Amino acid sequence: MEPFGARLRRAMDERGPLCVGIDPHASLLLEWGLNDDVAGLERFSRTVVEAVADRVAVMKPQSAFFERFGSRGVAVLETVVREARAAGTLVVMDAKRGDIGSTMGGYAEAYLHKDAPLFSDALTVSPYLGYGSLGPAVALARESGAGLFVLALTSNPEGGEVQHAVRADGRSVGATMLAHLAAENAGERPLGSFGAVVGATVGDLASYDLDVNGPLLAPGVGAQGATAADLPRVFGPALRNVVPNVSRGVLREGPDPVALRDAARRFADGIRDVVAGA
């Protein structure tokens, strides 16, 4: 398969750099008038996929909100992944997996093996058992033409105690993760397949080198407070490789499919305009 980075670059150029999250938590199901059960989960998720999967670059299902229903919820997730990819969007599985050795290998097989029921175009992973612990996922992603998004500079306030901690060599932990990703992506064109998660609400990142020659998945636009206009200040020269994620800002417009499509279009157009004008 063509590498994830190349497929993502093309999708961003053609459809605009927007990722729509699929986060079917209980409060959103209730807002939609659905029960907080597997039937409600399936109705919610498939409505979102049918409304926007043929017009956005990326969709990002949050695995936790499916897993909470057990095997039936995971079965719904398998359908969501399959139908979203069939509609032409790239799927980033937001599972934030991180472990060592054969266990990390097992997680990689679940999401990055081309024959797995949950095979996704990319997977979010946590490197805080050491970047090297991600080796099995990196290897299988390369083999399968998939990608990874590594937690680097997240927007949750607790993250700073780890990510901004300074190592003995004077470099922060977050900067170290970015440097590892730059090495993974060295020489790749038009875009590497190994990206970072960098929150759009983190603030001034001028002291960090975000040019990892790979994508930057940026949660926080919409309900969390960041806007498209904030992106140039946060990401600077790396702006063209940013994939802003919007979840509630789009999902709260449901269950009307037209309203969901309109919301996704507004966010996509706003982000496209900002990138073009930067």
The full set of domain ranges for the chain reads 4-277
pLDDT score at 225: 76
Q: Is 76 exposed, middle or buried (0-12, 13-18, 19+ CB in 10 A)?
A: buried
Separation CA 192–CA 101 (nearest Å): 24
Do the strands 19-22 and 194-198 form a parallel or antiparallel pair, or are they unpaired? unpaired
Separation CA 178–CA 244 (nearest Å): 18
Given a contact cutoff of 8 angstroms between Cβ atoms, the answer to whether 124 and 94 are in contact is yes
Phi-psi region of 224 (alpha: psi -120 to 50; beta: other; left: phi over 0): alpha
- Residue at 23: amino acid letter: D
Does 114 participate in catalysis according to the annotation?
A: no
| Residue whose pair of structure tokens reads 């939609």 in the numeric block | 32
Q: What is the pLDDT of residues 106-121, one digit of tens each?
A: 999 999 999 999 999 9
Given a contact cutoff of 8 angstroms between Cβ atoms, the answer to whether 54 and 266 are in contact is no
pLDDT score at 278: 65
Q: What is the pLDDT of residues 71-111, one digit of tens each?
A: 999 999 999 999 999 999 999 999 999 999 999 999 999 99
Which of 10, 96, 113, 266 is an active site residue? 96
| Residue whose pair of structure tokens reads 């490197």 in the numeric block | 127
Q: What is the CATH class of 4-277?
A: alpha beta
Tokens of 47: 């409505």
Separation CA 228–CA 50 (nearest Å): 25
pLDDT score at 199: 94
Convert the chain into a string of H (helix), E (strand) and C (coil): CCCHHHHHHHHHHHHCCCEEEECCCHHHHHHCCCCCCHHHHHHHHHHHHHHHCCCCCEEEEECHHHHCCCHHHHHHHHHHHHHHHHCCCEEEEEEEECCCHHHHHHHHHHHHCCCCCCCCCEEEECCCCCHHHHHHHHHHHHHHCCEEEEEEECCCHHHHHHHCCECCCCCEHHHHHHHHHHHHCCCCCCCCCEEEEECCCCCCCCCCCCCCCCCEEEECECCCCECHHHHHHHHHHHHHHEEEEECHHHHCCCCCHHHHHHHHHHHHHHHHHHHHHC
- Residue at 27: amino acid letter: S
> One digit per residue, pLDDT tens: the chain, 278 residues?
899 999 999 999 999 999 999 999 999 999 999 999 999 999 999 999 999 999 999 999 999 999 999 999 999 999 999 999 999 999 999 999 999 999 999 999 999 999 999 999 999 999 999 999 999 999 999 999 999 999 999 988 899 999 999 999 999 999 999 999 999 999 999 999 999 999 998 877 888 999 999 999 999 887 677 888 899 999 999 999 999 999 999 999 999 999 999 999 999 999 999 998 86
Nearest alpha carbon to residue 253 among 37, 3, 9, 48: 48
